[in-house]
Structure 1
Amino acid sequence: MSSSPADTAHYNRFIADLFGMMAYGELSAFERFAADARYSPTLHDRAVLGRIAVVEFQHYELVSSRLADMGIDAEDAMLPFQAAVDFFHSRTRPGDWFESLMKAYVIDTVSADFYRAISRYVDAGTRELIEEVQASDETTQVLRELLRGALADDPRLASRLALWARRLLGEALTQAQRVSHEHAFLGRLIGGGDGGGDTAAANELVSGLIAGLAGNHSRRMTELGLAG
């Protein structure tokens, strides 16, 4: 059965919001990696983070280009999410290089998990773009190895970074729930009326996403030798 015009309109609004959120996330990631690179303990580490920053900006350009193809200005699409993302980063300022690495790792992996979960519900073209932008296995591996090296050099970091990672996850999950509710974000994916679609179904989807994100994070922390 074909979708109604209302369903199509809600889905298109969801895609615009999705790309706006992705674009600002990638732009913010570029800024963070570029800034963190300045405080790297070695020139090699500075180059590594600088390279990741370039990749993040390329991802931002990919999403911006897709928005332009849709006739949507990237800044207009990003603005509704700027305050929430900036607030998250203001609450999670790293205290040193090691906390910067952990923040980058947690945000990189949790964000990728979130968008990949969402990609199961979208059209093929959108799914392809999400997969291209979130194909961050190389970045994830680089950050993981940097963290493993730091923990091997100073095992005393383990308890501090485990607590820091737990706080980052909590803030990230709270942020995801807040954005979903404030923007009726996932309700438009479910479809329905002006109130944001099927609220019960959207809440169920959010709960499932949150549980999956937390479980994946715990597994990754265990792989690092840290308490999830």
Structure 2
Amino acid sequence: MSENNAASATGHAADPGAADAYRQFLSDLLGVIAYGELSAFERMSSDARFSPSLRDRAALGRLAVREYENFERVAAHLESMGLNAEDAMAPFQQSVDAFHDRTRPGDWYESLMKFYVTDAISDDFYAALGSLLDPDSSALIASLQETGSEAAGEVLFVRLQESLKDDPRLASRLALWGRRLVGEALTQAQRVVIERAMPAELDGFLSRQELDAQIRDLFSQLTRNHSRRMSLLGLTA
């Protein structure tokens, strides 16, 4: 995805049809991101109750607060565009909720793995799509990707490592759970984002052929990234 794509995103004003298509594309993309952040906040807040220690409970609580702060930032960006955040999220509520129903964790350790796998895939996916956007929207998505030792992925990784060290019997169960999660997450990304947030044609934006090729490359990269993260935990993807 090239810089020309992001540049073209800002040049739709001369073509009302293309401008409308881009605005809908952005509304849908930010809508599903916003609802994903809100859902993550709800899940982390709820699952924190089952933490084996107060330290773990506090850690998940901090992560939940960050998810809600991200939700508020995306919602505010939508509102700044003159779009209603609730309306933008609504088309994705049923599908995202169904995904979480299908991947309901059996215990706290499976809950940690679910956060670790699905949040990382979502981050990778939206970071890649960010290069298609206007500078302000692209910067917003980039800013949601935390780095450093306090980033959500790093916190979850360290806690999962500790859990696997304390109880090696968890490895086979969490590896199997991780394989199920990645399959569900990639299917969900195709169903919710590509079918809804990426129309068949965005005139002057990307051709159907370019989009299809980039989607194939992107999903291959998402799979490789997941395998690498599982390997770092000593698990088979």
> Normalising by structure 2, what TM-score?
0.89
Matched, 1:212 2:221: yes
**What is the DSSP-based 3-state SS (H/G/I as helix, E as strand, rest coil) of the residue aligned with 2:52?**
coil
Q: CA deviation at 1:198?
A: 3.8
| Corresponding letter in the other structure for 1:170 | G
Alignment of 1:170-209 (within 5 A): 170-183=183-196, 185-187=197-199, 191-192=202-203, 198-209=207-218
**What is the DSSP-based 3-state SS (H/G/I as helix, E as strand, rest coil) of the residue aligned with 1:187?**
coil
Matched, 1:116 2:130: no
Residue in 2 that maps onto 1:44: 55
CA contact (8 A) 2:32 2:193 kept: no
Residue in 2 that maps onto 1:92: 103
**What is the DSSP-based 3-state SS (H/G/I as helix, E as strand, rest coil) of the residue aligned with 2:121?**
helix
* Separation (CA, whole Å) in 1 of partners of 2:135 and 2:206: 22
**What is the DSSP-based 3-state SS (H/G/I as helix, E as strand, rest coil) of the residue aligned with 2:199?**
helix
Which of 144, 150, 153 is 2:157 aligned to? 144
Q: Deviations over 1:79-127 (max 9, x none)?
A: 0011110111010000001000000001111111001111122111111
CA contact (8 A) 1:187 1:198 kept: no
Residue in 1 that maps onto 2:5: none
Matched, 1:10 2:21: yes
CA RMSD of aligned residues (A): 1.9
CA contact (8 A) 2:29 2:193 kept: no
| Corresponding letter in the other structure for 1:101 | L
* Separation (CA, whole Å) in 1 of partners of 2:187 and 2:212: 14
* Separation (CA, whole Å) in 2 of partners of 1:119 and 1:93: 29
| Corresponding letter in the other structure for 2:179 | R
Q: CA deviation at 1:47?
A: 0.5
CA contact (8 A) 1:37 1:46 kept: yes
* Separation (CA, whole Å) in 2 of partners of 1:206 and 1:84: 20
Q: Deviations over 1:7-61 (max 9, x none)?
A: 2211111111111011100000000100010000001100100011011100000
| Corresponding letter in the other structure for 2:225 | N
* Separation (CA, whole Å) in 2 of partners of 1:82 and 1:215: 28
* Separation (CA, whole Å) in 2 of partners of 1:175 and 1:38: 27
CA contact (8 A) 2:47 2:108 kept: yes
**What is the DSSP-based 3-state SS (H/G/I as helix, E as strand, rest coil) of the residue aligned with 1:203?**
helix
| Higher RCO (C-alpha 8 Å, min separation 6) | 2
Matched, 1:78 2:78: no
Matched, 1:158 2:171: yes
* Separation (CA, whole Å) in 2 of partners of 1:149 and 1:51: 19
| Corresponding letter in the other structure for 1:171 | E
CA contact (8 A) 1:187 1:199 kept: no
* Separation (CA, whole Å) in 1 of partners of 2:194 and 2:24: 15
Q: CA deviation at 1:181?
A: 4.7
* Separation (CA, whole Å) in 2 of partners of 1:58 and 1:66: 13
Residue in 2 that maps onto 1:63: 74
* Separation (CA, whole Å) in 2 of partners of 1:40 and 1:47: 9
* Separation (CA, whole Å) in 1 of partners of 2:91 and 2:217: 25
| Corresponding letter in the other structure for 2:177 | W
Q: CA deviation at 1:133?
A: 1.6
CA contact (8 A) 1:115 1:134 kept: no
> Normalising by structure 1, what TM-score?
0.93
